[in-house]
Structure 1
Amino acid sequence: MMAGRGQGKGSGQGSGRGGRGKQPDGQGLGPGGKCVCPSCGYEEEHQRGQPCYEKECPKCGTKMTRK
Protein backbone atom coordinates (compact mmCIF):
# COMPACT_ATOMS: atom_id res chain seq x y z
CA MET A 1 0.00 0.00 0.00
CA MET A 2 1.17 3.52 -0.75
CA ALA A 3 0.86 6.31 1.75
CA GLY A 4 -0.84 9.36 0.34
CA ARG A 5 -0.36 12.99 1.24
CA GLY A 6 -3.07 14.69 3.23
CA GLN A 7 -5.28 17.27 1.61
CA GLY A 8 -5.44 19.62 4.60
CA LYS A 9 -3.80 23.03 4.81
CA GLY A 10 -0.45 23.08 6.60
CA SER A 11 -0.25 25.53 9.46
CA GLY A 12 2.95 24.78 11.37
CA GLN A 13 4.79 27.70 12.93
CA GLY A 14 8.31 26.26 13.10
CA SER A 15 10.81 27.00 15.82
CA GLY A 16 13.65 28.87 14.16
CA ARG A 17 16.44 30.35 16.21
CA GLY A 18 17.28 33.77 14.89
CA GLY A 19 19.44 36.37 16.54
CA ARG A 20 22.03 38.97 15.68
CA GLY A 21 24.27 39.06 18.71
CA LYS A 22 24.47 38.31 22.36
CA GLN A 23 22.08 41.05 23.39
CA PRO A 24 18.32 40.81 22.80
CA ASP A 25 18.26 43.92 20.62
CA GLY A 26 21.19 42.70 18.51
CA GLN A 27 23.59 45.38 19.74
CA GLY A 28 27.04 44.92 21.21
CA LEU A 29 27.91 45.35 24.85
CA GLY A 30 28.85 49.03 24.63
CA PRO A 31 32.08 50.96 25.09
CA GLY A 32 32.90 50.03 28.69
CA GLY A 33 34.13 46.79 30.17
CA LYS A 34 37.26 44.71 29.97
CA CYS A 35 38.80 42.10 27.73
CA VAL A 36 39.85 39.01 29.67
CA CYS A 37 42.02 36.03 28.78
CA PRO A 38 40.13 32.82 29.61
CA SER A 39 43.41 30.91 30.01
CA CYS A 40 45.62 33.05 32.27
CA GLY A 41 43.17 35.70 33.56
CA TYR A 42 44.98 38.74 32.11
CA GLU A 43 42.66 41.77 31.84
CA GLU A 44 42.80 45.02 29.91
CA GLU A 45 40.33 47.80 29.15
CA HIS A 46 38.10 47.20 26.14
CA GLN A 47 38.90 49.46 23.20
CA ARG A 48 35.89 50.80 21.32
CA GLY A 49 35.65 49.45 17.78
CA GLN A 50 37.85 46.41 18.43
CA PRO A 51 36.05 43.28 19.62
CA CYS A 52 37.82 41.40 22.42
CA TYR A 53 37.62 38.14 20.47
CA GLU A 54 39.90 39.66 17.83
CA LYS A 55 42.61 40.40 20.39
CA GLU A 56 45.27 37.97 21.56
CA CYS A 57 46.47 37.90 25.15
CA PRO A 58 49.92 39.54 25.34
CA LYS A 59 51.00 37.00 27.98
CA CYS A 60 49.95 33.65 26.53
CA GLY A 61 48.55 34.32 23.01
CA THR A 62 45.02 33.01 23.65
CA LYS A 63 42.09 34.87 22.09
CA MET A 64 40.46 37.12 24.67
CA THR A 65 36.78 37.40 25.66
CA ARG A 66 34.58 40.25 26.91
CA LYS A 67 33.85 40.73 30.61
Structure 2
Amino acid sequence: MQTTAAPALPLQQPTLEALRAAIPALRVLPLLELLALGGAGEVCLEYLPGLQLAVNIEPT
Protein backbone atom coordinates (compact mmCIF):
# COMPACT_ATOMS: atom_id res chain seq x y z
CA MET A 1 0.00 0.00 0.00
CA GLN A 2 1.33 3.42 -0.95
CA THR A 3 0.13 6.84 -1.97
CA THR A 4 0.09 7.79 -5.63
CA ALA A 5 -1.03 10.51 -8.01
CA ALA A 6 -2.54 7.90 -10.35
CA PRO A 7 -6.26 8.39 -10.86
CA ALA A 8 -8.85 6.22 -9.15
CA LEU A 9 -10.63 4.45 -11.99
CA PRO A 10 -14.44 4.29 -12.06
CA LEU A 11 -16.29 1.01 -11.55
CA GLN A 12 -17.67 -0.77 -14.62
CA GLN A 13 -21.20 -0.97 -13.21
CA PRO A 14 -22.88 2.48 -13.40
CA THR A 15 -25.12 1.94 -10.37
CA LEU A 16 -22.20 1.03 -8.12
CA GLU A 17 -20.11 3.87 -9.55
CA ALA A 18 -22.86 6.35 -8.69
CA LEU A 19 -22.90 5.07 -5.10
CA ARG A 20 -19.09 5.14 -4.89
CA ALA A 21 -19.02 8.73 -6.08
CA ALA A 22 -21.81 9.87 -3.75
CA ILE A 23 -20.88 8.14 -0.49
CA PRO A 24 -17.29 8.61 0.73
CA ALA A 25 -17.30 5.34 2.72
CA LEU A 26 -17.92 3.44 -0.53
CA ARG A 27 -14.63 4.58 -2.06
CA VAL A 28 -13.41 1.12 -1.09
CA LEU A 29 -15.76 -0.60 -3.59
CA PRO A 30 -13.06 -1.16 -6.24
CA LEU A 31 -10.96 -3.04 -3.67
CA LEU A 32 -13.94 -5.10 -2.53
CA GLU A 33 -14.76 -5.92 -6.15
CA LEU A 34 -11.21 -7.16 -6.78
CA LEU A 35 -11.29 -9.29 -3.63
CA ALA A 36 -14.75 -10.70 -4.41
CA LEU A 37 -13.63 -11.75 -7.88
CA GLY A 38 -10.59 -13.46 -6.39
CA GLY A 39 -8.33 -11.42 -8.60
CA ALA A 40 -4.89 -10.04 -8.16
CA GLY A 41 -3.79 -6.57 -9.15
CA GLU A 42 -3.65 -3.00 -8.01
CA VAL A 43 -6.49 -0.61 -7.31
CA CYS A 44 -6.25 3.10 -6.61
CA LEU A 45 -8.66 4.40 -4.03
CA GLU A 46 -9.56 8.05 -3.55
CA TYR A 47 -7.85 9.24 -0.39
CA LEU A 48 -7.25 12.98 -0.23
CA PRO A 49 -7.75 15.61 -2.95
CA GLY A 50 -5.07 14.95 -5.57
CA LEU A 51 -3.77 11.90 -3.72
CA GLN A 52 -4.89 8.28 -4.05
CA LEU A 53 -4.02 5.15 -2.13
CA ALA A 54 -2.63 2.32 -4.29
CA VAL A 55 -3.38 -1.14 -2.88
CA ASN A 56 -1.68 -4.15 -4.43
CA ILE A 57 -3.34 -7.56 -4.04
CA GLU A 58 -1.22 -10.65 -4.66
CA PRO A 59 -2.62 -14.17 -5.08
CA THR A 60 -2.00 -16.64 -2.29
**TM-score normalised per structure 2:** 0.20
Tell me which structure has the larger Cα radius of gyration: 1
Q: Which one scores higher on RCO, CA 8 angstroms, separation ≥ 6? A: 2
Normalized per residue, which structure has more strand?
2
Normalized per residue, which structure has more helix?
2
